[in-house]
Amino acid sequence: MEPIPFHVPSVDEEDIPGVVEVVRGGWVTTGPKCREFETEFGRALGGQLECVAVNSATAGLHLALEAIGLGPGDRVLTTPYTFTATAEVIRYLGADPVFVDVDEATFNLQPSDVRAALKTMTSEQRGSVKAVMPVHYAGLACDMAGFEELGREFGLRIVDDAAHALPTRVDGKPVGQWGDISVFSFYATKTLCTGEGGMAVTADKELAKRMRTMRLHGISKDVFDRYRDSAPSWYYEVVAPGFKYNLGDIAAALGLSQLRRLDKFRDARARIARTYNDGLSALDGVTLPVDAATGDLHSWHLYPLRVDGGRQVRDAFIEELSEAGVSTSVHFIPLHLQPYYRDRYGLQPEDFPVALRCFEAEVSLPIFPAMTDNQMKRVIDAIPAALERARKRATKVARQ
């Protein structure tokens, strides 16, 4: 039998005409399709939002932090249980991430834990904190009302890493309508895929204006305006040392097509999650992921299963599933275990015990809209035997 991949992008025939139209139209970099994509993306999220399309969520996070004025000597409170992009953009600006441990049930940063961390700081340390960066792990929303309250209490900006969180809702509002700036990812594995790409979203027109300027070299006028205006408009000014972060029209055309099927993609992922839940709920030694509260929406970017028994069991379990033809992944290796952050900040594994436990237990199962019923059944059927063999292997190693 064919192995079951961890992910297959949801790109099909419906996506081709828009891309061909752009290629034949003669304008393939940032232009009218990008603007249309920004408009339609904002409309999909609702509210009076400014959307800034970029070539990656990493770029969007960098622009977001630059726009709020983050700089050397500043600090941002965030989670260690995330991909490195969340923290590396803080370092781009000469600021420092300060990690706060996550909640064991959701893997998410909690406002109460961030508040407690702030209160243990000296007044000088607290004064250097400029922002909090929650991450909506796997597509389950953080407590954004709590983070907004925290921001008001301590005078902090809230920039949420929403790479996993499209379309995610909490307390009746989509992620994107909370905090100061939200940044979404359109990477190949995401619910909406442009190959590479992202979107920074804000209700603040001045923040959006700054991000638009900085996404294209700090130039005062978009390239499309300079080259397509009917009147001569060659003159521009460099108002800041910006970046090359713009999204081209080819990717934007793909994004527009994908956006029209966003709910379909999300519903397919939710169906897979329900099937896994039904098939694995009676299995001892595993913990299923938390779903969103009634009335909220989980995007199910990931299905993070947790396996009891420690890292040796988890690692052996991954190998056993691979041998059974089921591809998996691990999300994530916590940043405080990574050499750069570990060495720079003198961190130890036990400094963030919840993140460590989550990492040593987590296995991400395949979840992509094109999964067939047979593939889901094969994954579910493979797990009990793979887990039993993994436990035996770990026990044998422990006795040696």
Active site residue ranges? 190
Q: Where are the beta strands (DSSP E) in 178-297?
A: 181-185, 198-202, 286-287
Q: How many other C-beta atoms are found inside a 10 Å radius of the C-beta of residue 232?
A: 7
Find the length of the chain.
Answer: 400
Residue from 160, 187, 176, 137 nearest 64 by CA: 160
At which residue do the structure tokens 């442009």 appear? Answer: 194
Helix, strand or coil for residue 184? Answer: strand
Q: How many alpha carbons lie under 13 Å from residue 335 in its C-beta half-sphere?
A: 21
At which residue do the structure tokens 């922002």 appear? Answer: 131
Do 348 and 332 form a contact (C-beta atoms < 8 A)?
A: no
Residue from 331, 330, 295, 391 nearest 108 by CA: 331
Q: Distance (Å, rounded) from C-alpha 400 to C-alpha 395?
A: 9
Residue from 125, 62, 65, 122 nearest 98 by CA: 125
**Cα 255-256-259 angle, rounded to 5 deg:** 80
Contacting residues for 274 by C-beta, under 8 A, at least 6 apart: none
Q: Distance (Å, rounded) from C-alpha 283 to C-alpha 288?
A: 10
Do 41 and 199 form a contact (C-beta atoms < 8 A)?
A: yes
Do 28 and 210 form a contact (C-beta atoms < 8 A)?
A: no
Helix axes 249-259, 262-280, angle to 10 degrees: 60
